[in-house]
Structure formats: C-alpha cells, structure tokens
Structure 1
Amino acid sequence: MVQLSTALAVLAASTAAAQNATLRYMPFGDSITEIVCWRSKLWNKLQSTEWASVDFVGSGRTENNCRDTKYDRDNEGHSGFLAINIANQKQLVGWLQKNPADVITMHLGTNDIVQQSKSTTDIIAAFTTLVKQMRDSNPRMKIVVAQIIPLGIGNYNSKVQQLNAAITPWAQQQNKTESPIWVVDQYTSFSGSSDNRDGIHPNDGGDVKMANIWYPALIKAFEAAKADKQKLL
C-alpha cells in the first residue's frame, strides 16, 4: 500500500509538472530581431491567448524605445552578426546551452548579403548547420524560419530574393516529423522603403507586419511543442 501510494504521488507530481511546464521560445537572428519592436507586438498579441505564459528566452534584453514596459524582452538577436559566422563559430550552441528552447524563430542572412556579399549556397549551408545545432540542443525543436524582409538601400534585393527562393526547398529537405520547420514569408507584403525606418530595420508599421506574419506559424509551433510535453503524461 505504501509503495502504491508513493507511485501515485510520483505520477501526480510528474503529471502536474508536465501540465504546468512553460514553453520556452527563442527569437533568434541579427539586428532585425534585436533592435526592433516586432517582439513587443508579438508578445502583446499572445497575451489574449492560451500562450500568454510562453517564456521568451535569450541572453539579450535590449530596450528599443518600443514604449512598452511590460513585454518579455529576452531574445537572441545580435546586431551585425552573420549567419555563416554564428554557425561556424558555434555561437548558437552556447546560447542554447544557457537558454534552452522548445521553439525558435530565425530571421538571418541580411548581414551575410550586405556586409560580405556571401552566396546563397554558403548562407543555406550555414542554415543547415544552425538547424543541426538547434536539434542537438533539443531533438524536438520546433523551428520557424523567415524569408527575410526586403532592403530599402543599395541593390541587394536580388540577392535577398535568391536567398528567399532557396529557403522553402531547403526547409522541406530539412524537415522532420519530430522537429518540423515552418517557413514564413516576411518579404512579399513588406516594403523596403515605407516599412523600414532606415532601409534595413522595420519601422512601427513594419514591426506590425512582421509580428502578424510570425504569429500563425508560431501558434502551430507552440501547439506542437505543447503536444510533446503532454506525451510525458
């Protein structure tokens, strides 16, 4: 009887823990993740849903003059960083060790194109490495990858379009049942001139657009991550 009572208590405790486990979401990218306000708008959009308790995670807590003192600022956006360097230097490995995640969004490639004119092939190879690093951290990681926003400076958008065109077939190839990849189109409805404040970073209207594009895919990712946790019951 004592053993049965103990077993039931352990089961009840593990059930409660699984039910109450908070989902951890990492916004990951460069300055278009770090020094912008779409994260604030996304967090607020989630507050009227069952996902209000999702924990945004990351080493950064930059305040971006978003006029919002409430939102969860944690993120892993790094201004000026290249996808290729993050992958090759295994920086994401360390970030995920410090802040494990169930769900991650990735908007990367802008600096690879603008700063060093890296090829689509090299950027996509870096994406493959980054996805492997995500899955090494969490084999059931839910991943949302952006086709990146257009630029309002220089003549870079042809390369942006080339990268974006490669992302969907790459994601299909990398997709796994236990660790799905969703691709969101942050390019098509976004204006590189009127939705950017400086030709690179979104203004308030651009932030709204980005948050609205991330949102449906993130909800699917949260649902999948929650289902994983419920399997522990």
Structure 2
Amino acid sequence: MPSPLKALCGVFAAVLLTASPAAADESTVDEAGEVVAAAPVRVMPLGDSITQGGSIGGYRLDLATLLRNTGRTVDFVGSMTDGPGSMPDRNHEGHPGWTIAQVDAQVVNWLRTYTPRTILLHIGTNDMYGSDPAGAPRRLSALVDKITSQAPASDVFVSTIIPIRFADATVRNYNAAVVPLLRAKAAAGKRVHVVDMYPAVPISDLPDGIHPNAAGYSKMATVWFNALSSVPGSIGDPRQPGGSCTATPRVTGTWSGGFQAEVTVTNPTASAITGWTVRFTLPGGHTVTQVWGGTASGSVTVTNAHYNGTVSPGGSAGFGFIASGQGTAAIGTATCSSP
C-alpha cells in the first residue's frame, strides 16, 4: 500500500508546472535490499499526422515493440488514442494537419497534464506548404524553448522532418536551418537531442508523397529507438530477468570505419554479484573486433574477465571494445545479467 507521504508527493508532482518527471522513474531499494522496479517511463510522441500514424499506429507500433523486446517499461502518453486494437499502448499527442504554431498553443497544457519524462517531436510538415515555410525554423525554435522551459528535466528528442515528394527543396532548407538552432540549445545545457530522420525514409515509402507506409514507419521507429538508447535514462533501464546488474554503454571515440566504446557494469543491490554477462546491439554492418576487460562470445555478448567478475553492492566494473563498420557510431541497447 502506498504511504501517505508518497501519495502527497504525487499530488504535488501533478500540480507544479515545472515538476521534474525524472524522479518518478528512479528505481528504489526496499528494506530487504531488493531493487523495486521503476514506474514506466512516460514518453510523449508529439507532432502531426505522421506521429498519429493512421490506423496502423505509425512509428509508435514498432517503437513500442523494440522497447518491449529490450526489457524497457515505457508508457506512451497524450490526449489522443489511435492505432490497431491489438496495439498495447495507443496514446500519443499527434494531431493531423497541425502546424508548429498549433502545437505551440497547446503544448503547455499537455506537458502539465501528462508530465512526460521524454518527448519525441516531429513537426513542421504542414508548415512546408503553408503561407510562411521560411519562418518555420523560428517557430520550431520557440516551441522547443517553451517545452524546455515547462519541462526542464525532460529529454526532448527533436527530429528533422521526413521528405515530402512535392516539396523536397523546402524540406531540406527547413532541416538545414533547424539543426544548428537545436544544437545551440543543447550546447547551452538544455536536454535537447537532434535526431536526423530525413534520410531514414525514402520517397518510395511515401505512398501519398507525405505519409509513410508500414515500412517507412518501421524505419522511423528504428531511428527513434537508436536515439533514445544513446541517452541514458530517457527510456529507463532494461529489466534484468536473469540477474541484478545494469549496463551503461558510452561511445568514447570515432573514426572512419569504426568506433571505440566502454560499458560500465553496476551492481545496484545490497548483495555482491559474482559474475556478469552483458548483451548489446550495434548498428547494421558493425562488428566487434577487439574487447578488453571481458571475454566475447558471439558478436555482441561479453562476460566478465577473471579479475572483475565480483562487484560489491553499489560498485561497478566494466569493459571496452572496438567495433568496425560504416555509418553512425552507436550502441542500441545493453542489458546485464548475473548468476
């Protein structure tokens, strides 16, 4: 039964305009020293009809599957409900036909109501064939500023918009203008992350020239998932059915044809663990070519070395690796299990 103090804190979190949603997603340890599962991470898919996704659920369908398959506990939030009846989580904040200004006019109310921990923003498509496409980057910048002011502890993932068959030059100009604006916000300390969605969806995946088909939405889901996985905490930690450790990956260096990374294994429980195994994913075409601090079996599984398998309560160990391949350096997900 929840304590009165926790219930009171929940009331204050719902009332305060700038309440931090991150605190509600942190795991706790009970009196027996066992890790208590965190509440689902609230994620708000935000935008227009491309976020709404029609009857097939858009990118949200495959993104939810990717999250579940990697042990993430995420709750999509928003005032809208769309997608197939078999879709476990159909909530979102995607509004067909809406422009940046229309989203801007309502976003504070949505953030206040749903207090998302993480926001996925794809907006601007309807501005491209409106009366002022040249002003769209300025409007997006103002919208992101409003979001980060209202929810400063939330991670805001803002993507470039996907192609429009009959307005490709306009879309390219918009994307080129918004990226430096967004990066400047991140450099200023705001939790803003740029996601390059434009190259992920080819024109051939846009039957009407604007909206993706299922294949296009699936590609969008992969891009969102990789971006979320690269920011610790944005989708919580994966469940560890085989043990009680966590794995946090970090890219430490990149070059043409490969990258270097390290993975920190942490023991959050009150008892020592004696051995760990980390499994992780890499971008397509990348393979692990060298590992230190662990023993590789297969291309994406590493077990502890003889000297770092025992991790004390609250302690950590780790390993590093080099991956070879073309494309963006990234580690999609990393899970840890112990005996």
Calculate the TM-score normalised by the size of structure 1: 0.79
- Aligned counterparts of 1:226 and 1:127: Cα–Cα separation in 2: 27
Q: Determine whether 1:184 maps to 2:204.
A: no
Name the structure with the higher helix share: 1
Q: Would you say the 8 A contact 1:103–1:221 is kept in 2?
A: no
Identify if the C-alpha distance between structure 1 residues 183 and 21 changes in structure 2 by more than 3 Å, giving closer, same or farther: same
Q: How many angstroms apart in 2 are the aligned matches of 1:111 and 1:129?
A: 17
Checking the alignment, whether the CA contact within 8 Å between 1:196 and 1:206 is kept in structure 2 is yes
Q: Percent identity?
A: 33
How big is the shift at 1:176? 5.5
* 1:104 aligned onto 2:119: yes
Tell me the equivalent position of 1:223.
Answer: 233
Counterpart of 1:7 in structure 2 is none
Matched residue, 2:81: 61
Q: Does residue 28 in structure 1 map to residue 39 in structure 2?
A: no
Provide the rounded CA distance (Å) in 2 between the counterparts of 1:206 and 1:224. Answer: 24
Specify which of 125, 150, 158 is matched with residue 145 of structure 1.
158
2:98 maps to which of 74, 77, 81: 81
After TM superposition, give the deviation of residue 84 of structure 1 in Å: 2.5
CA, structure 1 residues 78+105, in 2 after alignment: closer, same or farther (shift >3 Å)? Answer: same
Equivalent position of 2:248 in the other structure: none
SS in structure 2 opposite 1:110?
coil
Q: 2:69 aligns with which of 40, 43, 48?
A: 48
CA distance in 1 between counterparts of 2:75 and 2:161 reads 24
Q: Which amino acid aligns with 1:55?
A: D
Cα distance in 2, alignment partners of residues 105 and 146 from structure 1? 8
Rounded Cα–Cα distance in structure 2 between residues aligned with 1:221 and 1:131: 18
How far the C-alpha of 1:135 sits from its partner, in A, is: 2.0
Residue 213 (structure 2) pairs with residue 203 (structure 1): yes
Distance 2:156 2:171 in 1: 21
Q: Provide the residue aligned with 2:257 in structure 1.
A: none
Question: Equivalents in 1 of 2:37, 2:93: separation in Å?
Answer: 27
| Other-structure match for 1:5 | none
Unaligned runs of 5+ in 1: 1-13
3-state secondary structure, aligned to 2:152: coil
Runs of 4+ in structure 1 displaced over 6 angstroms? none
Normalized per residue, the structure richer in strand is 2
Q: Is the 8 A contact 1:84 1:112 kept in 2?
A: no
1: distance between equivalents of 2:213 and 2:64?
A: 17
Larger relative contact order (C-alpha < 8 A, sep ≥ 6)? 1
> 1:166, CA displacement in angstroms?
1.5
Question: Highest CA radius of gyration, 1 or 2?
Answer: 2
Give the direction of change, closer, same or farther, for the CA distance of 1:47–1:175 in structure 2 (3 Å limit). same
User: Retained in 1: the 8 A contact 2:155–2:234?
Assistant: yes
Q: CA distance change for structure 1 residues 224 and 72 in 2, over 3 Å: closer, same or farther? A: closer
Counterpart code for 2:158: V
1:164 is aligned, of 162, 168, 175, to 175
Partner SS for 1:200: coil
**Alpha-carbon spacing, 1:206–1:55, altered in 2? closer, same or farther (3 Å):** same
Q: Secondary structure at the match of 2:81?
A: coil
Q: Is the 8 A contact 1:104 1:142 kept in 2?
A: yes
Cα shift at 1:113:
0.9
Q: Is the 8 A contact 1:139 1:178 kept in 2?
A: no
Per the alignment, do residues 189 and 22 of structure 1 end up closer, same or farther by CA in structure 2, a change over 3 Å counting?
closer
CA contact (8 A) 1:142 1:225 kept: no
Give, in whole Å, the separation in 1 of the partners of 2:88 and 2:38. 21
Q: CA RMSD in A?
A: 2.4
Q: Report how many residues are paired.
A: 204
